[in-house]
Amino acid sequence: MAVYLPTLLTEVFKLTPQDAGFRTAGFVVLATAMRPVGGVLADKVGGRTILKWVFPATAVMAIFLACPLMSTFTIGALGMAASIGLGNGAVFKLVPEYFPKSVGGVTGLVGAAGGLGGFFPPLVLGMIKQQTGSFTLGFVLLGGFALICLMVLLRSSSARTLAVAASS
């Protein structure tokens, strides 16, 4: 989001590049500040629990982003920043739970996957904008992807619970 946000703000809302840059900086600061909060919360209630809230929140914020009003877009952008920041902190809590003997290597892979994950949405948004003339479908797809991630999380939670119960 941070990569594409200045372009989006100048194209859709006709903001000056400076104003778009300041708003993008606010997005980045909020998302960054929420990472340790997500980690602390994950320490208290578990990374999976945090993600069970993050994915639906991300889907809702994506719908706000899809609305072409500055007020709804602002709520969506700030909510998205907070949500993805919390999720980032929560994901890193899960690494030692699943890979206790290779935390360093897996953390590196998770970080790399996160970098790639941040690389593709702007490309998709740009392609959708080129094809449709609007960013709306891109944000709807982002919300749908967040819900798919929630379903995978919930299914893997069920499978993990069954495996633990079977081994007891």
Provide the pLDDT for residue 116.
Answer: 81
Q: What is the pLDDT of residue 125?
A: 87
pTM of the predicted model, to two decimals? 0.87
Which CATH number is associated with domain 5-167? Answer: 1.20.1250.20
What pLDDT is recorded for position 167?
55
- Calculated CA dihedral for residues 100, 104, 44, 114, nearest 10 degrees: -120
* Per-residue pLDDT tens digits for 35-50: 999 999 999 999 999 9
Backbone torsion region of residue 133, taken as left when φ is above 0, otherwise alpha when ψ lies between -120 and 50, otherwise beta: left
Within 8 A by CB and 6+ apart from 51, the residues are 87, 90, 91, 150, 153
Extract the residue ranges of the chain whose pLDDT is less than 70: 158-168
Report pLDDT for 101.
92
Q: What is the pLDDT of residues 67-98, one digit of tens each?
A: 989 999 999 999 999 999 999 999 989 999 88
Domain ranges in the chain?
Answer: 5-167
CB atoms near residue 14 (< 10 Å)? 9
